Structures are given as C-alpha cells and as structure tokens.
Structure 1
Amino acid sequence: MATELVPPRLSGTDLVRVGLAGLRARPLRVVLSALGIAIGIAAMVAVVGISSSSREDLNRQLDSLGTNLLTAGPGKNLFGEDVHLPIESLAMVGRIQPVTSVSATGLVKNVSVYRTDKIPAGQTGGIQVIAAKVDLLPTVSGAMADGVFLNAATEKYPAVVLGAQAAGHLGVAPGRPVYLGKQWFTVVGILQPAPLAPELDNSAIVGWPIAQQVFDFDGFPTNLYARADDDQVAAVQKVLAATANPEAPNEVDVSRPSDALAAQEAADATLNALLLGLGAVALLVGGVGVANTMVISVLERRGEIGLRRSLGATRGQIRSQFLAEALLLSTLGGLGGAVIGSLVTIGYAFSQGWPAVVPPWALAGGIGATLLIGSLAGLYPAVRASRLSPTEALATP
C-alpha cells in the first residue's frame, strides 16, 4: 500500500530566514518601501508624542500655579450697560470661609504709558494702567522676572511694576523712569508672564493709594482674584457672584482661569486630529508601496517560484514566504518610524522646554498598524504567487 507523502511545514525561523533572503536581494527597493511606512508611523508617533508632551507641560504648570483660583469681574446690566463691582466686594469675598486669599486690581481710566514725555500722545502701545493690592502676586501665582513687586511702602509712591509684554514694548529695566499720564514713575520690577492672569502682561501696575491720589482712581475693583480650598472650589464658585455683589449677582462674571488653559489645550486636539489624519494617509501610501514592491517581486521571481514548486514546495509555503516578506518589510518600516517619531518628539519637547512624553500605546499601536498594513499589502501578491503552477512559472522567461 502506497504511503502518501506529506510535505514538511516551514517553521517560523525558516519563514523569517526565507523572507529576509528575499528582502536582501533587493536592498534599495526594500529601503524605499520601508521608508514610506516609516514616514507614516513617524508622523503618527510624533503627533501623539508632541501632544502628550504639551499636555504634560500644561499639567505641570497648572500644578505649580494651582487650579483653585477664581476670578470675578463686572459684567453688564439688563440694558447692556457696563457696571462695576462694589468697593466693599474685596472684603466681602475675603469673608467666604473656604477662601484662603483674595486680591484685586482696578483699571485706571484715561491714563496712558510712555517711555518718555517726548513720545506722541497716540503712540501708547495699548498698555493699560491698573491699580493693584500688594498681595496680588502670590494670589495669582505670579513671579518677578526682575526687581520687586509693590509693597506697603512703595504702593504710596510713584513706583510701577510692568507686565512682561509692557516691559518688552517700552524697553526699560528696573530703576528707569516711565511717563504715566503727566507724571514720572520709577520702574521697580518686571513680571514674568502670568498664565492665570494674562491681563497683567500688558499692564503698568501701580499702588492703590497712589492711583487714587494722582489719577483720581475711583477705587472700584475691575478684577477680583480669590484662592479657595481645593475641595471647595466649585462651592465657592457658586456663591462668588452673590457675595461680590449681593444686590445684582447677575452683573458679575465669574470664571476659573485654569479652565481656559484646559480649553485651549482641548482646542489643540482638533489640529492633532488633522495631523493624525495626514499621518494615516502617509501610512496608507506606504502600504501601497509595500504592495507594489511585493507584486513586482512576484513577477520577477516567477522562475524561483516554479523551481521551488517543482522541488516540492506547496502553495501554502509559497504563500507564507511572500506574506512573511511583506510583514518583515512593514515591520522594518514600523520600527524605523517609531524611532524617528520618538526622536522628533524628544527633540521638539527639548527645544520648547517641555517634558518629553512618548506614550507606549502610541508605539505599540504604530507597530501594530504596520503589521496590519503588511498583512493586507502582502496578501494579494502572496496568493498570486501560490497560484502559479511549476510549469507555468518555469516557462516564463
């Protein structure tokens, strides 16, 4: 009785060796095809990594600045007219039990800031003058870039602190005079940018008493800044308007500056989605390149396929060989793209002073996407190669 011969199965190691042999025979074509995959994966990893690094930097900023700051300002009445907060609002808000600190600023109207008294009146640079309480800086988690902030002594004299943008526009340093209204003020300090109080950046800040004395400041606060216990922020936010202006709480605008920063980060997600889409397109183009390479490889290696078939290779072994080549080619591109994307993320984060964050799921997802692309791109060429009969393949010149 004749015994049916069963062809041996290729082991995983044999498949890898056969696949690598096919790739080594055409190195330039392999590099170009893998590069298409690498560009797509690098784009996707870089977008996710840079977005994650930016988000981590934002979280660190919020942790250092605090998310428990609330602000209150005057809104409009029922007739759309501007209103103001009561002068007593600062003290009333300070009596809310969970509030740990409170401060205020007030807009000084009809006063412009100039570097010298020789500057034309219209060239103000948009710098506003505001009066501030001496405890403003710690309340808003501000910091000085140079000099000192106002204190109990200097708030009574013609001393001014400039916001970061205002100082850059005027081009002055602490110790130099600037012209406010019709009087010289000495710059005693320059603020660093204030993320939670951006209105300070383009302002010239003077003391509350000197503003009332020199500029006839009416004393009405324009912005109240209140720090609350972390677990009581929502509760304080609900009562802040009614406390600041009990007679007309609807005329008070209450906000949480950290929410604005978080909203800005969320808005950036739209751009990230667009960039991810571009990365996906690049990945698709890379997959087409792999498919094209494998189809051409099948056409060029018909003689090899026929020889292997005549020596006993089965259709499944031929199919597995070409599928393994496609997977190895895609994996090469995926690993290269993951490395390039990580390096781009690290380099960009370093240039921005951010912590570099490359989520492991982005790397795993990118490599997984390459395996999927490789499988799909190599499936048709592999099936086509396996369907060639030995005689047909060998007969092809």
Structure 2
Amino acid sequence: MIETSRLGAGDLIRLGLVGLRVRRMRAALSALGISIGIATMVVVMSIPASSERALLAELDRLGTNLLQASAVPNENPPVKLPKEATAMALRIAPVTEAGAVANTHVTIARNDRADASAATAVLAVEPELLALLHGTVQDGLWFGPATEQFPSVVLGAEAAGRLGFTEAANQQVWIGRRWFTLTGILDPVPLAPEIDRAALVGWPAAESTLGFDGHPTVVYVRSHDASVEAVRDVLPATVFPEGAGKVRVTRPSDALAAKRTTETHFNALFLGLAGVALLVGGIGVANTMVISVLERRREIGLRRALGAHRGQIRAQFLAESVALSLLGGVTGTLLGVAASVGYALHQGWPPVVPLLALGTGVGGALVVGVVAGVYPSMRAARLTPTEALATT
C-alpha cells in the first residue's frame, strides 16, 4: 500500500506563493481590482463615521434642545403669532430661554443707488437671540439696550458676504429707504441658517422706523434636554392658544438628522459601487487562476506522479487564490485608511476608521479569494498524472 505524502500548513503557504512570485505583474494587476473594491468599501464606511463624529460633537456644543415655533405657511388669512409669544413660551416650566425674530418685509441694499438684495431678509430680533442660538460676533458688536433703539443693523455671515462687507466699522446700509449703521457681523450659526442669510435690526428700532407691527415670525425656545419632547408638544397651544394647529414646531437638529439620512442613501450607492469593484476583481482573480492551471499542467502532473493527491492540488491552488486576494485586500485596506484619514483631516473632522471597516476589508478579500479559487482548484485537481504530463 502506497502511503500518500503529507503537506503541512507551511508547505501549503509556500506553494500558494510560488505562482505570485513567478508571475508578479499578472498577480499585481489581479490584486489591483480587489484593492480598489476594498479601498472604496473602507472609505465609504470611514468617511461617514468621521462626519457623524464631527456632527455629534457640533450638536453637543450647540445643544439639541433648541425648538422653533412658527406659523403654518400659506394660510388664508395669514396667521400672526401674538406679540407676547416669547413671554408666553417662557411660562412653560422646563423652558430656560426664549427669543423671537420677525420678518419686517422691507428691502436692504448696500447703498441708496444699488439694487435691493432680494435674497437678504430684514429681520427684527430680540436681544436675547444671540445667546440663545449660541452665536458669536465676528466683527463689531451685538445689540445692546441703546443700539436696539436706534437704526443699527447686524449682518449674518452669508448676508455680509452677499452685500460685500468684511468689517463693521464706519459702514452704513440702505434699509427701507433710510440709512442704518452697520454695528456687527456674525459668525455662521449652524442651527439657524436663516440668521446667516439675514440683516438683523433691533425690535424697537424696527417698530419705530420700518413700520413693523410687532408680531413675531419665529419663536426660538431652549428647554431642559429631558423635557424637549414635552415642550415640543405643548408649545403650539402656548404661543397661539386660539389655533394650535396653525403653529408648527421644528428642531434644527432634525434637519441635520435628515441630512445624515440623505448621506446614508449616497453611502448605500457607494457601497454598491464597491461591491461591483469587488466582483470585477474577483473575476480577475478567477481568470488568473484558470490561466495558471492551464500553464502549469506539467507541474500538476509531476506533483501527482510524485504522490500528491487531489486534495493537496486543490488546496495549493485555493491557497494561491486566497493569497492573491489577501494581497489586494491588505493593500486596499491601507489605501482606504490613508484616504479616509486624509479627507477627514482636510475637512477638519476627527478621523474615524471603524473596526468593522477593517474587518470587512480583509474578510471581504478572503471571501473573494475562496470563491474565485474554487473552480480553478477543482479543475486542477481533476487532472490525472498521465493527462497532465502528456500535455505539449
């Protein structure tokens, strides 16, 4: 009885690497397809994680307890919130801060000869608004007890850029057919982008100089974190008792969550593209292994004649396929990590590479290698010694 030769794990690994060392260019090109797919997968999983970490940090800094109450649009006749809406909101026990803005429906221009900026709303504001929104002044001053009484204006970050102002000193703008002194320019306010696009005037000055009727358009409310949902439920009836159904309450962080949901859909698309890249790479590996079997028939026949059984031949070519895929997987994972960290740092986000992304990269390459190597390894194992050695 002939004893079959034994093939240890080390021997199997060395045999699996023979084809890669001998055919380096072909191996590199086959691994490239795998590496592109794996790199794409790592990037798609890591960049949203970095973005989410930055978003959560921003929300923690600004607070998620900010609510906005405003009249439902397109009502006939238009709904007007009561002048006492801010004071009424402060009567809700968990509410800690409240402030309002109102659209004055007047126009603003850089000077009396320039065209009005249709994209810039002129809003009357209460002085508490800046602290409530955790806003900061980039240049100049916010409204005080004196300046809110006089024709002075503070521009949001986007409005200042649109009107061509970079500093507030010794500047005037044309609002409602009269001059207003520019006293401040704000930094961007992430949770209230409507403030960024607006020109802000003091509430008393708007009433005395712009014909403003004193009815707020939006009431901003902050409450204790644990009571946000409860405040959200009672706020409409509190600020407009005669028509709670005509008041809508939104939370700015909900809009940011919707943005994240949209990004998730794009992430699914990119993951699909990564899957296609992996499929193409797997086909390339399978093709390389089939050609390798055809070119190495004499080697297979010689090994069979020397005592290698079909299982060992099958294991050799399967190991070569897995090694080829792992080479592409490790390379792709490193490229994906480098690209993700570089992009996050460029955006000012904290770099985050989920362990799942690393595991998926290497694991995905391993699966591709096994699947791509099954048929070539079985084909090689089916060759008999005489058939393989007889090949010219």
Normalising by structure 1, report the TM-score: 0.96
The answer (yes or no) to whether the contact 1:114–1:178 under 8 Å persists in 2 is yes
Is the deviation greater in 287-296 or in 176-185? 176-185
Task: Check if 1:53 corresponds to 2:47.
Answer: no
What amino acid is the match of 2:312? Q
Partner of 1:95: 91
Partner of 1:171: 164
Partner of 2:334: 339
Task: Check if 1:83 corresponds to 2:76.
Answer: no
Q: Deviations over 1:262-321 (max 9, x none)?
A: 111111111110111011000000000000000000001111111111111111111100
SS of corresponding position for 2:242: coil
Query: Among residues 298, 318, 343, which one is paired with 1:348 in the alignment?
Result: 343
Partner of 2:141: 148
Partner of 1:12: 9
SS of corresponding position for 2:191: coil
Task: Check if 1:63 corresponds to 2:60.
Answer: yes
Partner of 1:108: 104
The answer (yes or no) to whether the contact 1:162–1:190 under 8 Å persists in 2 is yes
CA distance in 2, matches of 1:80, 1:313: 88
Q: How many Å apart are 1:8 and its aligned residue?
A: 3.2
Q: How many Å apart are 1:6 and its aligned residue?
A: 2.7
SS of corresponding position for 1:54: helix
SS of corresponding position for 2:241: coil
Q: Deviations over 1:73-122 (max 9, x none)?
A: 11258x6432110011110101111001111111111x2111111113xx
Show structure 1 runs of 4+ deviating over 6 A.
Answer: none
CA distance in 2, matches of 1:242, 1:392: 89
CA distance in 1, matches of 2:288, 2:213: 78
Structure 1: gaps spanning 5 or more residues: none
What amino acid is the match of 1:263? A
CA distance in 1, matches of 2:215, 2:156: 21
What amino acid is the match of 1:181? G
Is the deviation greater in 169-178 or in 287-296? 169-178
Partner of 1:133: 126
When the two structures are aligned, how many residues end up with a matched partner? 390
The answer (yes or no) to whether the contact 2:329–2:365 under 8 Å persists in 1 is yes
The answer (yes or no) to whether the contact 1:75–1:84 under 8 Å persists in 2 is no
CA distance in 2, matches of 1:162, 1:102: 21
Structure 2: gaps spanning 5 or more residues: none
SS of corresponding position for 1:247: helix
CA distance in 1, matches of 2:343, 2:380: 45
Q: How many Å apart are 1:9 and its aligned residue?
A: 2.6
Task: Check if 1:390 corresponds to 2:382.
Answer: no
What amino acid is the match of 2:72? G
CA RMSD of superposed structures (Å): 1.3
Partner of 1:31: 28
Partner of 1:216: 211
The answer (yes or no) to whether the contact 1:349–1:356 under 8 Å persists in 2 is yes
CA distance in 1, matches of 2:324, 2:210: 74
